[in-house]
């Protein structure tokens, strides 16, 4: 296994070249015009897995973008690791804020800059290359399956069904995922929690057409003014969500566990400086790590309506819209939260407007226990390559399909992410440090080794 370091050294340029080829295909799942690129990307992964030593790879149709399934089964009596990742990426707008074009990957200051550099092409590709190493050196210690989807960034609308239809094919002992962050390579950590999500769009309609804001202003409810007020009523002065019943299913984390979690290093000063803010904000009574790790929240992700073009147009708009996300904690159910939201939101509207609420996507949170063979194997693997025992920590992000994996397939997931918060995923100038990419490749074979040994 010591060979992995040399293998990476000898092949690092080729790995990067191949990753760049993967990144160059603009696989934006949210945009229909990229449907052809989704197929091309699936083909690319198929080729990479075959080249890396998979015995069988199939591009499997779904109602949406295809799933790439690959496997190498060496011995039915050995454990099976199922690797999950996603080949789709987020849209790239606003384009003018990118220093280099999003689909022309470039290395600057030791980091790969491109859409998907981290989320999730860079992280997923680490698994392909670790798999290649184990095959090339005859050190693959167990069976491996790959399930790579193309719809994670749009809420995985087809994957639950896919899992139901392919339970046997997907049989495994653990699901291994690199699609989360680490505190840093110096303070290695393993993600043990993901938040759930309820994401909705709201529409407030006032008059049947845009009105002259002088002729009608002051006499007719303005949908944008109304929407703003409704939104500000959703949270109180302590930044608690005011929707009745919202907190009913929230599991309060015990004092002891909070004390344990507080041991994960966190530097508020650096956190603020990195995103150029003078002060943080959130639910009263909780630290920043707790606000993202163990508490739900409500945020407006977008808001529009009226005139937003150049110069002035004195108009009282007919409609106003917003996209609102609620990050949930594990025991909260997204359909129930959607309903609570809709009832309360409608109750906030004055008579002069109509309100429409549409659920866009949702999903459950996830807590991954640390007393499992998979966690112990991940911990030992990280300690082996980064020199320190990783700390468990709960992330604020969501991968809703992870709880479906447990429900449908009965398999727990291990979140062995190598991203950093500073990687700017979903933002302009997304990046992924080369060190993280190569350390990830180095760590993964150790996970396999320890998982099989401890099992």
Q: Considering CB distances under 5 to 8 angstroms, the limit depending on partner class, which of ligand BES, Mn ion, none binds residue 361?
A: ligand BES
The SS3 of residue 56 is strand
Q: In which order are the strands placed within the sheet that holds 196-205? A: 297-305, 319-328, 196-205, 354-363
In angstroms, the CA 164 to CA 166 distance is: 6
CA angle 302, 307, 312 (to 5 degrees): 135
Q: Look at residue 365 and give the partner it binds from ligand BES, Mn ion, none, a contact being a CB closer than 5 to 8 Å depending on partner kind.
A: none
The smaller minimum CB distance to ligand BES, of residues 64 and 155, is found at: 155
- For the CB of residue 31, give the shortest distance to ligand BES in the complex, in Å: 14
Q: Which is nearer to Mn ion, 28 or 57 (by Cβ)?
A: 28
**Residue 123 contact among ligand BES, Mn ion, none, beta carbon within 5 to 8 Å by kind:** none
Residue with the CB atom nearest ligand BES in the bound state: 397
Total number of residues shown for the chain: 455
* Shortest separation between residue 190's beta carbon and ligand BES, angstroms: 12
| 297 binding partner (options ligand BES, Mn ion, none; Cβ < 5 to 8 Å by kind) | none
Question: 129-168 mask for ligand BES (x: CB under 6 A)?
Answer: -----------------------xx-x-------------
Query: Which residue, 198, 206, 205, is CA-closest to 234?
Result: 198
| 197 near ligand BES (CB under 6 A) | yes
Of the residues 116, 293, 365, 400, which one makes contact with ligand BES according to CB under 6 A: 400
Q: Which stretch binds Mn ion (CB under 5 A): 68-76, 118-126, 139-147, 211-219?
A: 118-126
Active site residue 88: yes
Among candidate residues 119, 120, 152, 342, the one labeled active-site is 152
Instruction: Report which secondary-structure segment, H or E, holds 451.
Output: helix 434-454
Q: Report how far residue 124's alpha carbon sits from residue 440's, in angstroms, rounded to the nearest whole number.
A: 10
**Is residue 361 a contact residue for ligand BES (CB under 6 A)?**
yes
Which is the catalytic residue, given 18, 37, 71, 88? 88
* Contacted by 400, from Mn ion, ligand BES, none: CB < 5 to 8 Å by type: ligand BES
Both tokens of 295, joined, read 């508490």
Question: Would you call 423 a catalytic residue per the annotation?
Answer: no
- Residue 197 interacts, among ligand BES, Mn ion, none and using kind-specific CB cut-offs from 5 to 8 Å, with ligand BES
**Those residues with Cβ within 8 angstroms of residue 87's Cβ, 6 or more apart along the chain or in another chain:** 22, 27, 38, 41, 42, 45, 68, 120, 121, 124, 148, 149, 150
What b/e readout covers 211-246, taking b as 16+ CB neighbours within 10 angstroms?
A: bebeeeeeeeebbbebbbebbeebbeeebbbebeeb
Give 70 or 397: the residue with its C-beta nearer to ligand BES. Answer: 397
Of 167, 205, 139, 114, the closest CA to residue 2 belongs to 139
| Binding footprint of ligand BES, residue count (CB under 6 A) | 17
Residue 342 in the binding site for Mn ion (CB under 5 A): no
173 φ, ψ to 5°? -95, -25
Name the residue nearer to ligand BES (CB basis): 179 or 442.
179
Chain CA centroid to CA 399, Å: 5
Shortest CB 153 distance to ligand BES, Å: 5
288 membership: H or E segment, kind and range: helix 288-293
Tell me the pairing of strands 67-72 and 56-60: antiparallel
Partner interacting with residue 395 (select from ligand BES, Mn ion, none; CB below 5-8 Å by kind): ligand BES
Q: Are 449 and 16 in contact (CB under 8 A)?
A: no
- As measured in angstroms, the least distance from the Cβ of 151 to ligand BES is 9
Taking the C-alpha atoms of residue 241 and residue 108, their distance in angstroms, rounded to an integer, is 42
Is 103 in contact with 24 (CB distance < 8 Å)?
Answer: yes
Q: Does 226 bind ligand BES (CB under 6 A)?
A: no
Q: Is 397 in the site for ligand BES (CB under 6 A)?
A: yes
Collapse the DSSP code of 112 into the 3-class scheme (helix H, G, I; strand E, B; otherwise coil) and give the result. strand
Shortest Cβ 273–Mn ion spacing (Å): 24
> Binding residue for ligand BES (CB under 6 A) from 18, 37, 71, 119?
119
Within 175-214, the residues that bind Mn ion by CB under 5 A are 179
Residue of the chain from 18, 88, 120, 430 that contacts Mn ion (CB under 5 A):
120
Mind giving me the DSSP string for 218-275?
TTS--HHHHHHHHHHTTB-TTS-B-STTTTTTPPPPPHHHHHHHTTS---HHHHHHHT
H-type alpha helices, 53-120: none
Residue 119 in the binding site for Mn ion (CB under 5 A): yes
Q: Is the Cβ of residue 120 or residue 342 nearer to ligand BES in the bound state?
A: 120
Contact 317, 305 (CB under 8 A): yes
Radius of gyration of the chain (CA): 23
Q: Count residues contacting Mn ion (CB under 5 A)?
A: 3
Q: Which of 398, 431, 436, 443 binds ligand BES (CB under 6 A)?
A: 398
Applying CB under 5 A, the residues found at the interface with Mn ion are: 119-120, 179
Applying CB under 6 A, the residues found at the interface with ligand BES are: 119-120, 152-153, 155, 179-181, 194, 197, 361, 395, 397-400, 419
Query: Which sequence positions are flagged as catalytic?
Result: 88, 152
């Amino acid at each position: 296994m010591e060979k992995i370091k040399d293998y990476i050294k000898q092949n690092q340029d080729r790995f990067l070249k191949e990753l760049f080829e993967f990144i160059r295909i603009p696989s934006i799942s949210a945009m229909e015009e990229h449907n052809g690129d989704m197929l091309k990307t699936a083909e690319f992964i198929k080729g990479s897995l075959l080249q890396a030593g998979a015995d069988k790879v199939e591009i499997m149709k779904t109602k949406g973008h295809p799933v790439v399934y690959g496997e190498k089964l060496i011995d039915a009596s050995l454990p099976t690791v199922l690797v999950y990742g996603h080949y789709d990426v987020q849209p790239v707008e606003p384009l003018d804020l990118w220093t280099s074009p999003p689909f022309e990957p470039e290395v600057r200051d030791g980091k790969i800059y491109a859409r998907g550099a981290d989320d999730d092409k860079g992280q997923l590709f680490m698994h392909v290359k670790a798999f290649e190493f184990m095959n090339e050196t005859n050190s693959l210690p167990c069976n491996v399956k790959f399930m790579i989807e193309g719809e994670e960034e749009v809420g995985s609308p087809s994957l639950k069904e896919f899992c139901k239809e392919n339970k046997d094919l997907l049989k495994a002992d653990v699901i291994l995922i690199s699609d989360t962050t680490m505190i840093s390579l110096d303070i290695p950590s393993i993600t043990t929690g993901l938040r759930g999500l309820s994401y909705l769009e709201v529409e407030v309609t006032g008059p049947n057409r845009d009105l002259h804001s002088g002729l009608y202003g002051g006499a007719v409810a303005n949908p944008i003014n109304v929407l703003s007020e409704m939104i500000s009523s959703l949270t109180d002065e302590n930044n608690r969500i005011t929707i009745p019943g919202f907190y009913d299913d929230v599991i309060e984390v015990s004092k002891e566990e909070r004390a344990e979690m507080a041991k994960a290093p966190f530097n508020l000063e650096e956190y603020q400086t990195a995103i150029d803010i003078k002060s943080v904000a959130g639910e009263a009574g909780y630290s920043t790590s707790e606000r993202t790790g163990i508490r739900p929240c409500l945020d407006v992700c977008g808001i529009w309506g009226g005139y937003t073009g150049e110069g002035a147009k004195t108009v009282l708009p007919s409609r106003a819209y917003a996209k609102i996300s609620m990050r949930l904690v594990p025991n909260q159910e997204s359909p129930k939260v959607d309903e609570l939201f809709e009832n309360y939101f409608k109750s906030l509207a004055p008579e002069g407007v109509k309100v429409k609420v549409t659920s866009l996507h949702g999903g459950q949170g996830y807590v991954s226990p640390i007393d499992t063979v998979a966690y112990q194997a991940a911990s030992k693997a990280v300690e082996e390559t980064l020199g320190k025992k990783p700390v468990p920590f709960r992330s604020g992000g969501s991968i809703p399909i992870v709880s479906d994996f447990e429900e449908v397939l009965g398999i727990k997931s291990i979140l062995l992410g190598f991203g950093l918060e500073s990687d700017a995923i979903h933002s302009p100038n997304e990046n992924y440090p080369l060190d993280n990419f190569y350390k990830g490749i180095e760590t993964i074979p150790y996970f396999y080794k320890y998982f099989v040994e401890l099992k």
